[in-house]
Every structure is written in C-alpha cells, then in structure tokens.
Amino acid sequence: MSKLYAVVDLETTGGRYIRDRITEIAIVLHDGCRVIDTFESLVNPECYIPYGITQLTGITQEMVNEAPKFYEIAKQVVEMTEGAIFVAHNVRFDYSFLREEFSRLGYTFTRKQLCTVRLSRKTFPGYPSYSLGKITTHLGISIEARHRAMGDAMATAQLLERILAKNGSSEAVKSMVNLGIREALLPKNFTVEKIHALPEACGVYYFHDERGDVVYVGKSINIKKRIAEHFSDKTQKASKLQQAAHDLSYELTGSELIALLLESAEIKRLRPPINRAQRQRRFPYVIHTYTDQGGYLRFDLAHTTALERKKLQVISEFPSMGRAKGRLKRVREAFELCTRLCGIQKGNGACFEFHLKQCHGACIRQEPVTSYNERAEEAREYLKTVFEDNFFIIDHGRSTDERSVVLVEDGRYRGYGYCCPEDFFGNPEALRDFVKPYEGNPETTRIIQRYLDKNNHVQILPIE
C-alpha cells in the first residue's frame, strides 16, 4: 500500500509559534505519484499582522478580518492530514504552529513528519542553498505565488515527487519518518507507531519492565524525539532498554526546570537500575570558607554531620570527598588560588604551585590580601550552591494559560507546582498554596543555578 502525504504550508504573523498566529494554510494531499486533493484558507489570526509580514506575503489585515478563525477550520485540517505523513519544507516550523493552535483548543495534534529540506540535502547533495526558492529554481520547479500558502505547498509537493522518483530515496524517507529509529532496536512490546503517538512536549518519561517497575527515568523538552533517540543507535543504554523495557509512561511538566528537578527526585526515589547519574541521596562532604588571621579568604574540605555543618560557612556539598576535592582543585586552577590556602596542601611555607609560578605567593604573604581575596571571592561565588535569598521562580506551564512555580527558601529548593497568572498577581505569598513540597539537596540547587544562568526568560519573585 502506498503512503499518503499531506504537504502543508502556512503563512504566519511571525516566526515564534508560542507568540505568533497563522494567517493562511494550504494542504496538498499527495499519494506519492500525484495530487489527489487540496485545501486552502485564509485564517483570522485574531491579532495584528506586522507591516513587514504583509510586505512579504501580501496578506493584509483587511483580507483576514472576515476569514474563518482557526477553530472553524480545525476539523478539516484533522481530516485532511489524518493517516498521512505531514510534509513541509522546514517541517518543524509549520508543524509547531499547527500543534500549538490545536493545543489552544485543548486538542493534541500528532502526525508522522517529513522535512523536504533535510530530504533534499540527502537526495540532491552539493547545492549552496536548500531554501524553497533556491532548490526549486535549481530543479526547474516554478512557484506560482511565492510566500503564499498554496503556491509554496504546490511547489513543495512537486519537490517531494522529484525526491520520491530518485533511486534510494525510499530508505531516507523511511528513516526520517521513523525519527531515525532502527526497528530492530525496539523492545518487543514497542512499535514505531507507539513512539509517534508520544507528545512532543517537555516532561519526564519512565521505562517500565514486565512487572511495571521503573527501570529508567529520563527528561526531555521533546519526549517523543528523545525516546526515539534511545532506539536510533546501538548504544549500551539502548541495549539495556531493549532487553528490559516493556512499557513506558510520562509526565508533562511544561517547564524544563521542573523536568530537571522531577527527574532528579524520581531517580533518587525509584533508583532505576539503568540510571547511573543522580542516584546519591547523602552529601556529607563540604567545601567551606573562613578568613584567617592575616585577612586571607580561605577554603577547606570537611566531612560533616548536620550539627557540625551549622558552625561552618558551607558553600558546596558533595556525595564523596573525591568529588569535593576534584571540584575545589579545578576552581583553584581556574582562579589561580593557593593550594595551601585552599586546604588542598598542608604544612607551612611556600606551596608547591608557587615554585611552578601557578600561585602568586599568598601562602608566604607575598601577594597582597586585597588582590588575592578579589579572586577568592569570585571563586566562592562560582562554587556556591547555597542560596542566600528566598524567592519563587515563575516559568512556562503545561499550557498557554498556566505557569509553573518553584520555591527556593532558607538556602534550598523546597518544591514546585502550577497556577494561573492571576493567582499570584500582586501577592507572591499566595503561591505557597500551589507548591508541592520536595526535598532539596546540593544537586537540585546546582540544577536551579545552572538553569537561571542560561535562561533569562524566567521571572523571579522575591519573598520578603
């Protein structure tokens, strides 16, 4: 039986599917040999069309004011694409926009996908550009209305025909449609269709054995893509999963930060046999600081109890002395600190690194306190895994009208939850009611710190 392809092209108000909306849609249904049906419609985006977009597409505000809104054509889109492979030139763009429009309606839109940009590179190698305009020109395919949905969709359909007509293209198509999955690597109870039905959303996923016990926990911003990757290469982990996994489940989180925190907590709680990282539950070894009689800021390592820890200025905690010492050594090298003042080398006099010109002489009071402490303070900030302030982190939720909440208090992560934006307007303390308690540890603290360093879109609400 031949495959059915739904070649899709969209015009939109911009390039971000979370923020922007569809202004026009075209679907060309193709059986691999010829076009068998088409659908096109302008769409009222219910928002302003930027002037630059109108200049590019020719679609004006007046043209879409009386056009149907997306929910009015959603059923036709579902029916036209059902059972077909979703094809587009840069499929992630068009597919993401449609998936988001359906998500706003409370519907999960999932289709197998095929990208003609990637497929063109494999089938027609050597061209300087694979944009739709350039590749169709190279191949002599005319576009009747460039940057209009039906014109571009028809050109993409003709490009697909050329690709399918080439010898050897069927394997490339199969590999891309199957997300690169090697079916021989799938566990016996898994199918490509089962993986295609997974959400392309952020969350935590679980592999279960025949008894239902969890054998592996992972997280991803795209669950379907990540699970497919497990079975696309002959890795040691894929081999273990192939032998042990019988079923899978998942929990959507919306926020990548919550996915990271939940993954860490679940690995510690369930201790799945295939997971190796993040299994430690105790962190008794610490790096702490103090100022000596000469005014130098010093670091030291210690194995502590909870009571002893209260007497120290702890800045980092670790599951083993080796991890703690290794971390301190790397930071000492990076900031050119003294090994003796870092508690790594014992004794008196000049440290060994001073003779190698890797220490500026703080150990023999040759380097001034001010210049040494300036670097030591930077190192302390770099090492620090204990928060000094209390605050909420507001991030993406599992839907467009939801926000995630993470609580950091008394130096540690305390839990997370979800709420609507209006639930905390003007009153951050009200967020406590939405937070489910979780136990924090140095690992969760580092997860939060790294996330905040890399993501400036999150909102921080201080707690007075």
Nearest to 173 by CA among 182, 183, 163: 163
pLDDT recorded at residue 393: 95
| 29 and 112, same domain (yes or no) | yes
| 35 and 164, same domain (yes or no) | yes
In this structure, is residue 438 part of a structural domain? yes
Using the 3D structure, point to which of 367, 383, 399 is the last residue of a domain: 383
How far is Cα 432 from Cα 424, in angstroms, rounded to an integer? Answer: 10
| 379 and 401, same domain (yes or no) | no
Nearest to 203 by CA among 268, 248, 270, 269: 248
CA distances from 115 to 88, 122, 141, 375 (A): 6, 11, 18, 50
pLDDT recorded at residue 197: 87
| 290 and 252, same domain (yes or no) | no
Using the 3D structure, point to which of 141, 161, 177 is the last residue of a domain: 177
Owning domain of residue 26? 5-177
pLDDT recorded at residue 1: 41
pLDDT recorded at residue 395: 94
pLDDT recorded at residue 147: 87
Query: Percent helix, strand, coil in the chain (nearest 5)?
Result: 40, 20, 40
Nearest to 157 by CA among 85, 74, 100: 85
| 16 and 148, same domain (yes or no) | yes
| 309 and 203, same domain (yes or no) | no
Residue 417 pairs in a beta bridge with 405, 435
Mind giving me the DSSP string for 265-300? Answer: HHHHHH--TT--TT------EEEEEEE-TTS-EEEE
In this structure, is residue 305 part of a structural domain? yes
| 75 and 159, same domain (yes or no) | yes
How far is Cα 107 from Cα 440, in angstroms, rounded to an integer? Answer: 35
pTM for the model stands at 0.67
| 12 and 102, same domain (yes or no) | yes
Domain count, the chain: 4
Tens-binned pLDDT, residue by residue, of the chain (464 aa): 468 999 999 999 999 988 899 999 999 999 988 999 999 999 999 999 999 999 999 999 999 999 999 999 999 999 999 999 999 999 999 999 999 999 899 888 989 899 999 999 989 999 999 999 999 999 999 888 888 999 999 999 999 999 998 877 777 888 788 777 877 788 888 988 889 889 889 999 999 999 999 999 999 999 999 999 998 877 888 889 989 999 999 999 999 999 999 999 999 999 999 998 765 567 788 999 999 999 999 999 999 887 887 889 988 888 889 888 998 999 999 999 999 999 999 888 899 999 888 899 999 999 999 999 999 999 998 887 667 789 999 999 998 889 999 999 988 899 999 998 877 666 778 889 899 999 888 789 889 988 988 888 889 998 87
| 106 and 128, same domain (yes or no) | yes
Using the 3D structure, point to which of 227, 243, 270 is the last residue of a domain: 270
The tally of CA atoms less than 13 A away on the side-chain side of residue 219 is 20
| 115 and 14, same domain (yes or no) | yes
| 296 and 319, same domain (yes or no) | yes
pLDDT recorded at residue 278: 63
Give the amino acid at 71: Y
| 151 and 9, same domain (yes or no) | yes
* Edge-to-edge order in the sheet of strand 297-303: 297-303, 285-291, 313-318
How far is Cα 109 from Cα 402, in angstroms, rounded to an integer? Answer: 19
pLDDT recorded at residue 347: 86
How far is Cα 271 from Cα 325, in angstroms, rounded to an integer? Answer: 26
